[in-house]
Each structure stands twice: as C-alpha cells, then as structure tokens.
Amino acid sequence: MSEAGLIDRPASAGRLGLPRPDAWTLAALGAAAIVAAPVVAVVVTLVVPQGEVWRHLAGTVLPRYVANSLWLMAGVAIGTGIIGVGTAWLVTMCRFPGRTLFEPALLLPLAIPTYVIAYTYAGLLDFPGPVQSALRAAFGWSRGDYWFPQIRSVGGVATIFTFVLYPYVYLLARAAFLEQSVCALEVSRTLGCSAWRSFRKVALPLARPAVAAGIALALMEALNDFGAVQHFAVDTFTTGIFRAWFGMGEPVAAAQLAAVLLLFIAALVVLERASRRHARYHHTSGKWRPLPRYQLEGVRAAGAFAACFIPLAIGFLVPGAVLLVWAIETAPSVIDARFWGFAANSVILALLSAALAVCFALLLAYAQRRRAGTAPVVRIAALGYAVPGSVVAVGLLLPLATIENAVDAAARAWFGISTGLVLTGSAVALVWAYLVRFLAIALGAVESGLAKITPSVDGAARSLGESAFGAVRRVHVPIVRGSVLTGALLVFVDVMKELPATMIMRPFNFDTLAVRTYQLAGDELLREAAGPGLAIVLVGIVPVIVLSRAIARSRPGSRA
C-alpha cells in the first residue's frame, strides 16, 4: 500500500519513533481485537504439544480429508468464478430476453441454506430417492444394472456448492462492473478490441479485487461447512476438526486443526494479494453515463438466457419448488404461533448483525486505507469467516465465560455480591459470534468498493476540512453505497442461515428458523423441515430484491 503516505498527512513521530496513533486507528484496533479474540484463542493452542493425536490423524484419515478439501476448493473456485463472473457480465453489459428478471433472481440461491439444499438434492438423487426409483421402476433395473452419478461424493458436493455459492461472486462482480466507468471500455473498443477482448483485457482485470473477494468468500463458506458435507458423506478438513474434538475428546488437537486451516486460508489470501503486485484499481475517470448494453439476438440471446437460467434453476427453482410442495403438505402441523416467534428472532438477529458488521467493516477498511500498518490486524479480524461456526462459538464462549467467572469471583470476594454471567448465554454474545463469523463478508464488499476511490479524493476531502469520520460519512459511503449495501445484504442472509454458533450460544427458550429447520431435518423429518426452511428463503428474498435494486441504482451518475 504505497499510497498510504498520500492518504494521510505525513505521520508525526511519537516518542518511540512510531507514528502517533490517532483516534480512528485506535478505534479500528479495538474493533479488530473484539472480532479477532476468538480466532486468536484458537490459534494460540498451536503452542500446546499434541504429538500423539496428530500422529494418529496423519497416519489414518488426515490425508483423505486434506485431499477432499483441496478438490472441493478447486471445484468451487472454478465453478463459482465462471458462473458468477459470466452471469454478472451478461446481465450488466448485455441486453437479452429475461435480463431484468435475471438481474435480481440470480441472487436467490443465496437465500437457501447449504444444509437445506444438501438434504433436498441428496433426497432426490440418491439410490432410494424418487429419481432413481422411477428409473428402476421404468426399466426394470436393480442395483448394479445401471450407472448413475454418485451424488454423495466430492464431485457432488462441489457441484451443489457451486450452484449455491456462485451468487457471492456474481454480487461482487456485478457491483464492480456497475461501478466501472464505461469510458475505459469504450477506449478499449476504439483501440480495436472486440467485445470479448475488452471484457477479458479491461473489465475483468479491473474487477479482479471484487472477483477474488467473491471467490474467497465462496471458498471459506465451502471449507467451514459441516452440515452439508456430512450429509453428503464427504470428509473434509472440518470433519477432522469435529472428529478430533467431539469424537476423540481432544479440543486442543481440534483447535490446532482449525488453526492450520486458518493459516492455509491466510496464505491463500496473501498469495492472491501478492500476485496483484503493485497494480491498483482506482478509477481514473470521473465520467459516467448509462451503460450501453450490447443487444444480443437469436442464438446468442438464447445462449445468454440458458447461461442465466441453469444456475438459477439448480440453485433455487428446483430446491425451492421441492420445499414449497413439502411445506404446503406439512403446513398445518408446522405453522403455529411459535413459528412466527422463530421468524422474528431470526430477522432481528440478522438486521442487528448486518448493521454492526457494516459499521465495523467501514471502520477497519478505512483505517487500513489511512495506515497500511493496520492491514495485518484487519486480515486477522476477517479470518473468522473460515472457521466453522461451532469453533468460533466455543472460541468465544471459553474466554468470555472465563472473564465473567473471574469478575464474579472478584465481586464475591470484595463486595459479597455475585455478578453471574451477563453476556455468556445472551443474545449479545450471539451477535458477537456472528460478527466474528461474517465480518469478512462486509469487509470484502466495502474494501473492493473503497479500492476504486483514488486516494486524491481522501486528500481533497481532508484538505477541505473534513475529519476522518466526516470524510467517510459524506464522501466515501455515498460513493460506495452499492458495495456497503452488498455487504449488509450478505451478512443479513448469512445470519438468517447460520446454524452451529446459534445452536451453541442461544439463550433459553430462544429458537430461530435455522435452528428449527435443523431440529426437524436432523431427525430426518425432511418434509416438516421444509416449512421453516422455506421461511428462511422467503425472508431472505425480500432484502435480496430490495438491495439488488439499490445496487443497480448505485451506479455513479445513474440518477444524474
């Protein structure tokens, strides 16, 4: 970040020769510490020797877990990259039948929790399921007479994940394409580039931070998943964490595995950043005008339609329809007064977490922009996304309860009163866990937006007398509104779907839609689980549509 010096006034040296920390940096460091605490608690376990457990794991199952995880990552990265960028480019830059419908609809798979989609497809496509049963009945086959793709396999999981997770790439890539000035593209066309070439050589490289952020989110989501891979009988690294912890009763070994996973992901992030070298992605032109969309006709239009329809169908329409049928079947027994209570709990938690995550993300992203030295701290704070929810929950629970118990003991000793546990087991701790888990999403969105504002804008705002806070509020946030909304939307939907941390940390008599879905689906009552599952989807759709429109309008100059 060589431009840091441009953004900030020359750092005045403190007594120790270090730059004197200002209020913004201190606030950001404080926020990062709050979010990073559980992750750090996990990483510090690495210093405890656990040789025997490691030898056992490495000698038996670990190689398979690692291989599965790597294949899964490769499949998800390639799949979500192609589908996400391709569909984003089509709906943003081209005109074809259905485009305006696809623009918001392509986000819909986001609203379906991965465990729900896993249950649905496994139920449809495995051996006793309706598809294979119908085939056997129609052709008189029995086991071994025919070949059918094994849905419960690494390939099956990677395929399903691709179709649920591509919206992360689609969202960020589309926001990036929308925020790009067309001038750069038009210049490339006047210099003789074909439409394809100007996409490949200009638009895509400019959108690279956003695409990389989107793929990183999809990968972390895939890596920390436990419910879906478990249901698909695929053992990944996360299976290893659960097995060490809950199967062998070795929490330290489990935390160490989690730490290794973290370091691996951190290495990936660093590699991606290093590969950009000194490239910067600021817009150098302030000229905006409506996008001149390429009109697609005939075969090309049909191809574009199919390219958008297939991911939508596999990721949303088919599972959505199955859920709907089941939900209607079981509605009388599932929809009652308590059901609305679950829904209210889910929405409140999601709104609160989304707002907090965006505020934290702005705080951290802007601090990083002002002082490059804070970058490593910001990255550590964002690592929680790669940690399985239950590991975050316990990583948070242990230190929090320890501190509260110590406070309680001290209060008893000195004042004879018991403070008990105030935060542990409350909704506050739960929201904290969501922040740890999902800050990376908001941060990725906000950062990719801020990256496009040239540092001279910061300088101009500050030299015109704005404080750091004023500059962010009156200059940066309005410019990157689309990215900020994207971040808020993603966190909202993710909290709606979040399961493991909610299960562990929630207060008494407090269930969410996700918990309810899991309780029913976990007992293999898939049909009954469809009601609350569908409710998560429906509640998730509303902000998806509202915010998708807001993002479309967020294009600079669109209302001018």
Partner 1 sequence: MILQAILICNMRLLLVPALFGAALATAAQGAELNIYSARQEALIRPQLDAFTKETGIKVNLVTGDAKELVQRLKAEGANSPADVFFTTDAGNLHAAKQLGLFQKISSPTVEKAVPAHFRDPDGMWIGLGIRARPIFYVPGKVDPQQLRTYEDLADPRWKGQILVRSSNHVYNQSLLASIIAHDGPEKAEAWAKGVAANLARKPQGGDRDQLRAAAAGEGSIAIANTYYYAGMLASSNADDRAVAQKLKVIWPNQDGRGVHVNVSGAGITAAAKNKAEAVKLLEYLVSDEAQRIYAEVGQEYPVKPGVAWSPVLESLGEFKMDELSLAEFGRHNAEAVRIFDRVGWR
- Interacting residue with partner 1 among 105, 110, 495, 505 (CB under 8 A): 505
Interacting residues with partner 1 between 46 and 105 (CB under 8 A): 56-57, 60-61
Closer CB to partner 1, 60 or 285, in the complex: 60
| Residue 394 tokens, joined | 């316990």
Nearest to 495 by CA among 339, 348, 315, 340: 348
Please, which residues have CB within 8 angstroms of residue 408's CB and are 6 or more apart in sequence? 418, 419, 420, 421
| Single-letter amino acid, residue 249 | G
Report if residue 248 touches partner 1, rule: CB under 8 A.
Answer: yes
Residue closer to partner 1 by CB (options 10, 416) is 416
Q: Name 13's bridge partners.
A: 19
Which of residues 22, 186, 408, 466 is near partner 1 by CB under 8 A?
408
Which among 108-116, 245-253, 290-298, 456-464 is the span making contact with partner 1, rule CB under 8 A? Answer: 245-253
- Answer yes or no whether residue 229 interacts with partner 1 by CB under 8 A: no
H, E, C per residue of 209-222: HHHHHHHHHHHHHH
Name which position in 128, 192, 416, 465 contacts partner 1 (CB under 8 A): 128
CB of 358 to partner 1, least distance (A): 8
Among 252, 510, 545, 558, binds partner 1 (CB under 8 A): 510
CB 243 within 8 A of CB 61: yes
Half-sphere exposure (CA, 13 Å, Cβ side) for 332? 1
Q: Taking contact as CB under 8 A, which single stretch among the options 164-172, 372-380, 418-426, 459-467 is the one that binds partner 1? A: 418-426
Binding string to partner 1 for residues 528 to 547, with x set by CB under 8 A, is what?
------------------xx
Q: Which helix (H) or strand (E) holds 487?
A: helix 481-497
- Does 122 contact partner 1 by CB under 8 A? yes
243 forms part of the interface with partner 1 (CB under 8 A): yes
Give 514's Cβ-side CA count (13 Å radius).
Answer: 26
The kind and range of the H/E element at 94 are strand 94-95
Pick 277 or 559: Cβ nearer partner 1: 559
Is there binding between residue 249 and partner 1 (CB under 8 A)?
yes
Could you give the CA distance from residue 145 to residue 217 in angstroms, rounded to a whole number? 41
* Count of residues interacting with partner 1 (CB under 8 A): 78
Residue 26, interface with partner 1 (CB under 8 A)? no
Interaction with partner 1 in 304-343: which residues (CB under 8 A)? none
Burial class (CB in 10 A: 0-12, 13-18, 19+), 486: buried
Which of 405, 454, 456, 558 forms a contact with partner 1 (CB under 8 A)? 405
d(CA 336, CA 338): 5
**Does the footprint of partner 1 cover residue 428 (CB under 8 A)?**
yes
Distance CA 145, CA 136 (A): 9
Measured CA to CA, the distance from residue 127 to residue 147 in angstroms comes to 11
Residues 256-315 binding partner 1 (CB under 8 A) are: none
Site for partner 1 in 439-478 (CB under 8 A): 477
Least Å distance between CB 143 and partner 1?
5
The b-or-e profile of 522-549 (16+ CB within 10 A means b, else e) is eeeebbbbbbbbbbbbbbbbebbeebbe
Binding range to partner 1, per CB under 8 A, among 182-190, 283-291, 508-516, 529-537: 508-516
Number of Cβ within a 10 Å radius of residue 69: 23
At closest approach, how far in Å is the CB of 185 from partner 1? Answer: 28
In angstroms, the CA 533 to CA 521 distance is 9
CB of 283 to partner 1, least distance (A): 22
Nearer to partner 1 by Cβ, of 68 and 92: the residue is 68
Applying the rule CB under 8 A, the residues between 341 and 400 that interact with partner 1 are 348, 351-352, 354-356, 358, 390, 393-394, 397-398, 400
Question: Shortest distance, CB of residue 81 to partner 1, whole angstroms?
Answer: 29
User: Which positions from 131 through 170 interact with partner 1, judged by CB under 8 A?
Assistant: 133, 142-143, 152
Work out which of 488, 529, 530, 536 binds partner 1, going by CB under 8 A.
488
Closest distance between partner 1 and the C-beta of residue 427, in Å?
4
Choose among 358, 379, 486, 373: nearest CA to 434: 358
Which positions ≥6 away from 256 have C-beta within 8 Å?
45, 46, 48, 50, 54
Bridge partners of residue 95, in order along the sequence: 295
Name the residue nearer to partner 1 (CB basis): 101 or 524. Answer: 524
